[in-house]
Amino acid sequence: MKIVIADTGVLISLGIIDKIDIIKNLFDEFYIPQAVWEELERYENPAFPEKHKAILKKHILKIKSKNQLSLLMDYGESESVILYQELNANYLLIDDQKARLMAESLGVNCIRSVSLLILAKQKGLIHDLRSIFKVWQKNERYFSKKLLNEILSKTGEAPIN
């Protein structure tokens, strides 16, 4: 059974392309900590449909441990790492580089949004990364054009201009 914990950034990146379901299609169980839910509640972007919040609300779990990681990363990220540890999860979906590197130093198996989409494409869940990356750029998701074009090149798609 594959359990995944999702941080806010990944959920926003998937939500604005209407692909939250990728998580459910790739993993048996997924959860979000309370702090991630609170960040999502405050997030406002017309490209992020409210229907996703209703779906995600069903996956909230509160951490049991004291959050001592919040000095090193924000609350959503730190609670995500703690929930990963408490549930002995398989993966943490996280994009923030500093938080991801810190999580990996603690032995957490991390997957970024872009890696999740590559996996989804390999499994036939999506067919076109380029159009997704363009939506991300339009909605100010923070992935470098260089990184996105490297991925497009590796997956046989045309680069973004």
Secondary structure class of 6 (helix, strand, coil): strand
Please write the tens of the pLDDT for every residue from 133-157.
999 998 888 788 999 999 999 999 9
pLDDT of residue 71: 59
- Complete edge-to-edge strand list for the sheet that includes strand 29-33: 60-61, 29-33, 3-6, 91-93, 110-111
Dist CA 144 CA 130 (whole Å): 13
pLDDT of residue 37: 95
All domains in the chain, ordered by first residue: 3-114 (3.40.50.1010)
Ordered DSSP codes for 115-131: HHHHHHHHTTS-S-HHH
Which has the closest alpha carbon to 6: 35, 34, 45, 33? Answer: 33
Asked if residue 12 has pLDDT above 70, the reply is: yes
- Beta-sheet pairing, 60-61 with 3-6: unpaired
**Both structure tokens of 107:** 């032995």
Give the DSSP letter of residue 3: E
**Contacts with 154 (C-beta within 8 Å, 6 or more apart), sequence order:** none
Please write the tens of the pLDDT for every residue from 66-118.
666 555 667 889 899 999 999 999 999 999 899 999 999 999 999 999 999 99
Which has the closest alpha carbon to 103: 117, 119, 118, 89? Answer: 89
pLDDT of residue 69: 57
pTM above 0.85, yes or no: yes
pLDDT higher at 110 or 50: 110
Dist CA 40 CA 12 (whole Å): 8
Please write the tens of the pLDDT for every residue from 104-126.
999 999 999 999 999 999 999 99
Asked if residue 49 has pLDDT above 70, the reply is: yes
Backbone φ and ψ for 142, nearest 5 degrees, come out as -95, 75
